[in-house]
Structure 1
Amino acid sequence: MSLIDFALNLILGVILGTLGGLFGIGGGLIAIPALGVLFGLDQQLAQGTALVMVVPNVLLALWRYHQRNRIDLRYALTLATSSFLFAILGAGWAVTLDAERMRIGFVAFLVALALYNLTRLYFRPAAGGTDLRHPWPWLALLGSGAGLLGGLFGVGGAVLATPVLTSVFGATQVVAQGLSLALAAPSTAVTLVTYGVHGHVDWLLALPLAIGGLLSISLGVRFAHALPERTLRALFAGFLLLCALLLGLRV
């Protein structure tokens, strides 16, 4: 890799890191279609390479969210433990699947999730808060489903968890994004190990992306706490549709 290529990949990592901090997803969701479209990587290789950036970004973003809006340790551990166990299953399954079918499935998931978030903009949900509407053990069910999805697609668990936490559990968007990061931290790490063992990681491409993400993710977290709730939710839905479009170009 030339110095120019390294610099360009570093800049791309900065952009992805800012988006990851803004939406509480570590940047991987848009990194996967970006890697597929810009570098021609197949689905598994794009997912594994994106995870090299996602894992440190998620950890740093989780700390930043916790500093600004303290995350309940009981909620976080319940989500993290359940997602970790099911991410092992999802990642083991993912490395055996056809890459194009995985890509189509991922596009469908993003579109469905974006449409769901858009419909919520036209309703008046009950005001969210830091206390959940349902007992905390129910978070294990959410963590299991999100962990399985995260292991399968490399990312996606936190994206699923965020709207569920706001609509079903009554958390605010910012609180939901912080808890989603707690869910994603262990599951993305174990997924990265699985993809790496099976050779689905381009480490040379991934490292400058990871460095750029670490430099910028705190800025994204700052933006997330500055934006109005409705605006953040609308941007989140639009972001999901953009990711689906980019991936659809490769189908």
Structure 2
Amino acid sequence: MSAAVRGRWWRLAIVGLLAGFFSGLFGVGGGVIIVPLLLMLANFEQRRASGTSLTAILPTAIAGAIGYAVQGEVDWIAAGCLAGGAIVGSLIGSWLLHKVPQGVLRWLFIAFLVAMAIRMFLLVPDRGAVLELGVGTVVALIGLGLVTGILSGLLGVGGGVVVVPMLMVLFGMGDLVAKGTSLLMMIPTSITGTLANVRRGNSDVRAAAVIGLLAVPASLGGVAVAAAVPPQLGAVLFAALLVFTAVQLAVRAVRQRRRGRD
């Protein structure tokens, strides 16, 4: 095995460990970590990074969901409603991924990170809050799932960065239950989006397998830490992570644009 190949696998391993830990800690699939790291460390182009990320999210989401479920921190009915909308949305998003220009996709992802960071900075989680289900709530959850699925297929994120804060802000759900429910919702979304991306050649399955398998044990560690971190501190840390990632990607995008002009 050449040094270049070994270097690539080591970088993918780092991506998997980081994505897994933050997935468990914040209740996200890890795509918000995987996509920028694939761009910055593994030299993936935006479309392939998004497709590969969605594939790698599957084992991470399964492990994280199990970890929260064991602690009783999953709302199964809400997760089912979200998943129903997200499955349809992920197919739409995967189709859009093949159509949207690379430059537009890159800046759309950066804007998405900034918007979610602002939301998390302003969020004051209530760990003991419980979701009250009704007809209106079910319809709203399906709608949220649809939007989340589109973003999932288009940007390669599992949707947790949207679902977790929205469940807390709009639906009054406790932060740990929101995280567990979000991870459970991502499982069918990741499967449908991955199948669509693989058919279109937008996913590196071998790279995704390396990332996903290494993310599993790391995600369980993140779940354990999540219960010990105060809700407000967790929200602020997550927001800071999103801002840092957005800045790094924006700098990279500007540099690439300048090189293209030279």
Scaled by the length of structure 1, the TM-score of the pair is 0.90
| Cα distance in 2, alignment partners of residues 76 and 159 from structure 1 | 15
Structure 1 counterpart of 2:20, from 17, 30, 41: 17
Report whether the alignment pairs 1:129 with 2:132.
no
| Cα distance in 2, alignment partners of residues 4 and 76 from structure 1 | 39
Structure 2 counterpart of 1:144, from 127, 143, 146: 146
1:214-239: CA deviation from partner (whole Å, max 9, x where unpaired): 12110011111111111111111112
| Cα distance in 2, alignment partners of residues 204 and 131 from structure 1 | 39
What is the CA distance between 1:30 and its match in structure 2? Answer: 0.9
Equivalent residues in 2 for 1:57-96 (5 A)? 57-96=60-99
Aligned to 2:225: 223
- What letter corresponds to residue 49 of structure 1 in structure 2? T
Change in 2 beyond 3 A, CA 1:59/1:41: same
Change in 2 beyond 3 A, CA 1:243/1:189: farther
What is the CA distance between 1:183 and its match in structure 2? Answer: 2.3
Task: Tell me which moved more, 7-16 or 141-150.
Answer: 7-16
Contact 1:107 1:244 in 2 (8 A): yes
Task: Tell me which moved more, 108-117 or 149-158.
Answer: 149-158
Scaled by the length of structure 2, the TM-score of the pair is 0.87
| Cα distance in 2, alignment partners of residues 86 and 157 from structure 1 | 11
Change in 2 beyond 3 A, CA 1:127/1:46: closer
- What letter corresponds to residue 165 of structure 1 in structure 2? L
| Cα distance in 2, alignment partners of residues 12 and 131 from structure 1 | 34
What is the CA distance between 1:127 and its match in structure 2? Answer: 6.8
| Cα distance in 1, alignment partners of residues 247 and 132 from structure 2 | 34
Contact 1:57 1:210 in 2 (8 A): yes
Question: Number of aligned pairs?
Answer: 248
Q: Secondary structure at the match of 1:155?
A: coil
| Cα distance in 2, alignment partners of residues 168 and 29 from structure 1 | 22
Report whether the alignment pairs 1:161 with 2:175.
no
Aligned to 1:43: 46
Change in 2 beyond 3 A, CA 1:127/1:15: closer
Contact 1:83 1:143 in 2 (8 A): yes
RMSD of aligned alpha carbons: 2.0
Equivalent residues in 2 for 1:114-125 (5 A)? 114-120=117-123
What is the CA distance between 1:86 and its match in structure 2? Answer: 1.6
Contact 1:75 1:136 in 2 (8 A): no
Aligned to 1:194: 196
- What letter corresponds to residue 173 of structure 1 in structure 2? D
**Unmatched tracts of structure 1, length 5 or more:** none
Aligned to 2:258: none
What is the CA distance between 1:133 and its match in structure 2? Answer: 7.4
1:176-228: CA deviation from partner (whole Å, max 9, x where unpaired): 11121122221122111111111112234333212211121100111111111
Aligned to 1:234: 236
Aligned to 1:250: 252
| Cα distance in 2, alignment partners of residues 206 and 156 from structure 1 | 14
- What letter corresponds to residue 131 of structure 1 in structure 2? L
Structure 2 counterpart of 1:184, from 183, 186, 210: 186
Amino-acid identity (%) = 30
| Cα distance in 2, alignment partners of residues 72 and 173 from structure 1 | 12
- What letter corresponds to residue 178 of structure 1 in structure 2? G
- What letter corresponds to residue 244 of structure 1 in structure 2? A
- What letter corresponds to residue 105 of structure 2 in structure 1? M
